[in-house]
């Protein structure tokens, strides 16, 4: 009897197919064409080999078998618009700062460490998260470090505040005219208050530059940290040709340990673009070239988004373009002619309208099937005619519904309620046949904020903005997992849980599809797998 049992077990094992990982007894959200829900998945050599019911555990044998105990599994999140960079030794991270007093304390500590005269930089503060509900200004920074030049860039990157020594280094006085495409803010007495919109370089070109060796460790750490948020793929939203070389160097050594990345290249000029070795899509499943990026206008954190109607309470201000319409058209023509994909920063409705009209001219002059050009942000709702053109021209959107949450205060300050209500539209473009992905732009990076805002349309205050722009959780998940793969022409490689695709998977601690959407912000990632290898586990 014992011999027969052993013999039967041997036959069963021989019949089983080898795998490296089996996840069973879960809710596998495949994100495939039918949005099928399965129970188990098997992985071999970094790819999914089977998806189905729990019989998979009997059909395959693997050294690692994980009982999910009913927990949901999704494809890894894919953020199609994210900013990441390494930090200099004199940089202060302020994303978690909750008061101006706390910012001042961190500045004082850095000044004490660096000594008198050394530059201090920092970033990612937001007045909406500060107790004072206002921006830090020149006087606040002077009080913290009167003997050090200090420059702090706002979250979103569209404005910076500097102290008196930083303004002095930049040569900015009460008589300094606004720089091209930028605004120097003045106080009631006509003196610079320390804030410069859209031209951070006015300050930062005078600060010392950290070496790539100094920046690299913190950049790698930030990339690895994305796994804790369930992000397994990103599109870096802009890099110079020299930065691209640095990303190549990092991924040549650490690529297997980092999220998959596509890198957008900032427009470098026509001659530099012609001389550039490579174009959109070059690379591999770890690192590849993305679209050419251009900033058509500013943003609402400046604010300088280019709008059709004036800003609320500012009858003579409609934001700023970063270039003339003629220059925009020229750059788009050359990039398209050279075979690049285009991903353009457009926030204001006037910037969106202008860019879509330019795309229409370029695509009529040089038709290209499956071009996959897209607009980043698309923060304001453009005229209906522009939406129809986008659908006709197959222009896509990399949208950030999380802005509805984190930039609620900026919209309320600068836009009338009826315009603010339809900002960051998701439902309307989708209904009109415009392909769309959800991303973060670091405001904040966590996908749960984007999902929450897309489904509830709630700001930080809890107020609902434009409920007609809500979408279902199913559509939001697809826009954060499956749809982004199309933006980098990798839809056959990732984005859904199907046999043959990369095993980039995440396990959540709660079920997004059945829970109250208002609880979305509390959902955590329990485990993250990249190519079937666990790269994050909560608590470890």
Q: Does one domain contain both 190 and 248?
A: no
Express each pLDDT in 359-371 by its tens digit. Answer: 999 999 999 999 9
Q: Which pLDDT band, with edges at 50, 70 and 90, does 8 fall under?
A: very low
Smallest Cα–Cα separation from 19: which of 66, 54, 63, 67? 63
Express each pLDDT in 81-137 by its tens digit. Answer: 999 999 999 999 999 999 999 999 999 999 999 999 999 999 999 999 999 999 999
Is it the case that residue 3 has pLDDT exceeding 70?
no
11-15, 37-41, 196-200: the lowest-pLDDT one: 11-15
Q: How many residues does the chain have?
A: 540
Express each pLDDT in 265-287 by its tens digit. Answer: 999 999 999 999 899 999 999 99
pTM of the full structure: 0.91
Q: Does one domain contain both 279 and 348?
A: yes
Smallest Cα–Cα separation from 230: which of 514, 468, 537, 489? 537
Cβ neighbours for 365, distance < 8 A, ≥ 6 positions apart: 333
Does 517 map to a domain? yes
The percent of residues above 90 in pLDDT, for the chain, comes to 94
Q: Does one domain contain both 187 and 247?
A: no
Mean confidence (pLDDT) of the chain: 95
* Three-state secondary structure readout of 39-99: CEEEEECCEEEEEECCCHHHHEECCEEEECCCCEEEECEEEEEECCCCCCCCEEECCCCCC
Smallest Cα–Cα separation from 397: which of 355, 369, 362? 355
Predicted local confidence at residue 14, as pLDDT: 55
CATH number at residue 457: 3.20.20.140
Range of the domain at 158: 91-204
Predicted local confidence at residue 11, as pLDDT: 42
φ, ψ for residue 364 (rounded to 5)? -70, -35
Express each pLDDT in 414-424 by its tens digit. Answer: 999 999 999 99
Last residue of some domain: 204, 223, 243?
Answer: 204
Average pLDDT (231-235) is: 98
Last residue of some domain: 153, 188, 204?
Answer: 204
Q: Does one domain contain both 60 and 130?
A: no
Q: Which pLDDT band, with edges at 50, 70 and 90, does 156 fall under?
A: confident
Is it the case that residue 167 has pLDDT exceeding 90?
yes
The percent of residues above 70 in pLDDT, for the chain, comes to 97
Q: Does one domain contain both 198 and 345?
A: no
Express each pLDDT in 511-525 by its tens digit. Answer: 999 999 999 999 999
Average pLDDT (26-30) is: 98
Does 80 map to a domain? no
Does 232 map to a domain? yes
Strand partners, 233: 78, 260
Does 77 map to a domain? no
Smallest Cα–Cα separation from 504: which of 294, 244, 226? 226
Q: Which pLDDT band, with edges at 50, 70 and 90, does 387 fall under?
A: very high
Cβ neighbours for 443, distance < 8 A, ≥ 6 positions apart: 155, 156, 400, 402, 403, 406, 407
Predicted local confidence at residue 241, as pLDDT: 96
Last residue of some domain: 38, 70, 102?
Answer: 70
Average pLDDT (340-344) is: 98
Q: Does one domain contain both 261 and 287?
A: yes
Predicted local confidence at residue 457, as pLDDT: 98
Smallest Cα–Cα separation from 158: which of 58, 83, 226, 101? 83
Neighbouring CB atoms inside 10 A of 252's CB total 10
C-alpha distance from residue 316 to each of 75, 185, 300, 461 (Å): 47, 15, 16, 30
Smallest Cα–Cα separation from 448: which of 396, 397, 518? 518
Do strands 159-162 and 192-197 pair parallel, antiparallel, or not at all (unpaired)?
antiparallel
Predicted local confidence at residue 325, as pLDDT: 98
Q: Which pLDDT band, with edges at 50, 70 and 90, does 9 fall under?
A: very low
Q: Which pLDDT band, with edges at 50, 70 and 90, does 10 fall under?
A: very low
Predicted local confidence at residue 425, as pLDDT: 97
The answer to whether the beta carbons of residues 405 and 458 sit under 8 Å apart is yes
CATH number at residue 95: 3.10.310.70
Q: Does one domain contain both 433 and 507?
A: yes
Q: Does one domain contain both 23 and 45?
A: yes
Give the number of domains in the chain: 3
CA–CA separation, 200 and 427 (whole Å): 34
Q: Does one domain contain both 108 and 236?
A: no
N- to C-terminal Cα separation, the chain: 44
Does 83 map to a domain? no
Is it the case that residue 20 has pLDDT exceeding 50?
yes
CA–CA separation, 341 and 240 (whole Å): 16
Is it the case that residue 4 has pLDDT exceeding 70?
no
Is it the case that residue 64 has pLDDT exceeding 60?
yes
Structure-token match 């990076």, residue found:
445
H-assigned helices in 195-321: 201-204, 212-225, 241-254, 270-275
CA–CA separation, 48 and 384 (whole Å): 42
Average pLDDT (474-498) is: 98
The answer to whether the beta carbons of residues 267 and 294 sit under 8 Å apart is yes
CA–CA separation, 52 and 36 (whole Å): 10
Does 79 map to a domain? no
Express each pLDDT in 184-221 by its tens digit. Answer: 999 999 999 999 999 999 999 999 999 999 999 999 99
Does 540 map to a domain? no
46 sits in the region (left: phi over 0; alpha: psi -120 to 50; else beta) called: left
Q: Does one domain contain both 164 and 312?
A: no
CATH number at residue 31: 2.30.40.10
CA–CA separation, 29 and 70 (whole Å): 12
Q: Does one domain contain both 281 and 390?
A: yes
CA–CA separation, 298 and 190 (whole Å): 24
Express each pLDDT in 279-321 by its tens digit. Answer: 999 999 999 999 999 999 999 987 889 999 999 999 999 999 9
Does 116 map to a domain? yes
Q: What is the largest CA-CA distance in the chain?
A: 98
Q: Does one domain contain both 225 and 297?
A: yes
Predicted local confidence at residue 2, as pLDDT: 54
């Amino acid at each position: 009897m014992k011999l027969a049992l052993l013999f039967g077990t041997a036959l069963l094992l021989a019949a089983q197919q080898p795998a490296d990982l089996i996840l069973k007894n879960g809710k596998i959200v495949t994100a495939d064409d039918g949005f099928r829900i399965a129970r188990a998945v098997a992985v071999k050599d970094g790819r999914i080999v089977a998806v189905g019911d729990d019989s998979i555990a009997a059909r395959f044998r693997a050294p690692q078998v994980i009982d999910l105990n009913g927990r949901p599994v999704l494809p890894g999140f894919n953020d199609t618009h994210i900013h990441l960079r390494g930090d200099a030794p004199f940089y202060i991270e302020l994303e978690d700062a909750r008061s101006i007093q706390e910012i001042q304390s961190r500045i004082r500590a850095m000044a004490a460490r660096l000594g008198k005269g050394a530059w201090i930089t920092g970033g990612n503060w937001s007045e909406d998260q500060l107790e004072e509900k206002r921006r830090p200004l020149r006087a606040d920074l002077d009080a913290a470090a009167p003997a050090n030049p200090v420059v702090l860039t706002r979250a979103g990157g569209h404005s910076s505040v500097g102290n008196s020594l930083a303004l002095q280094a930049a040569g900015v006085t009460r008589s300094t005219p606004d720089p091209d495409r930028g605004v120097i803010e003045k106080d009631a007495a006509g003196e610079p208050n320390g804030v410069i919109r859209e031209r951070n370089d006015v300050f930062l070109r005078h600060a010392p530059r950290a070496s790539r060796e100094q920046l690299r460790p913190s950049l790698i750490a930030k990339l690895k940290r994305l796994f804790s948020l369930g992000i397994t793929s990103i599109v870096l939203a802009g890099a110079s040709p020299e930065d691209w070389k640095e990303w190549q160097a990092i991924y040549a050594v650490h690529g297997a340990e980092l999220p998959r990345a596509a890198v957008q290249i900032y427009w470098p000029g026509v001659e530099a673009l012609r001389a550039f070795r490579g174009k959109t899509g070059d690379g591999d499943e770890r690192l590849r070239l993305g679209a050419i990026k251009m900033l058509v206008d500013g943003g609402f954190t400046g604010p300088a988004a280019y709008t059709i109607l004036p800003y609320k309470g500012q009858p003579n201000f409609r934001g700023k373009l970063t270039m003339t319409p003629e220059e925009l058209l020229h750059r788009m023509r050359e990039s398209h002619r050279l075979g690049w994909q285009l991903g353009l920063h457009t926030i204001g409705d006037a910037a969106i309208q202008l860019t879509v009209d330019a795309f229409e001219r370029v695509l009529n002059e040089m038709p290209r099937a499956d071009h996959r050009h897209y607009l980043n942000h698309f923060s304001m709702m453009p005229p209906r005619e522009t939406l129809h053109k986008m659908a006709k021209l197959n222009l896509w959107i990399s949208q950030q519904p999380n802005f509805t949450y984190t930039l609620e205060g900026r919209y309320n300050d600068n836009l009338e309620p009826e315009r603010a209500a339809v900002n960051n539209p998701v439902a309307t473009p989708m209904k009109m046949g415009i392909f769309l992905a959800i991303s973060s732009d670091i405001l904040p990076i966590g996908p749960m904020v984007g999902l929450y805002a897309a489904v509830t349309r709630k700001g930080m205050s809890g107020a609902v903005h434009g409920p007609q722009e809500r979408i279902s959780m199913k559509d939001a998940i697809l826009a954060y997992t499956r749809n982004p793969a199309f933006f980098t022409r990798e839809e056959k490689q990732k984005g859904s849980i199907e046999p043959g695709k990369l095993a980039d998977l995440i396990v959540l601690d709660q079920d997004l599809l059945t829970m109250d959407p208002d609880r979305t912000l509390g959902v955590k990632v329990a485990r993250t797998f990249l190519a079937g290898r666990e790269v994050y586990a909560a608590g470890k």
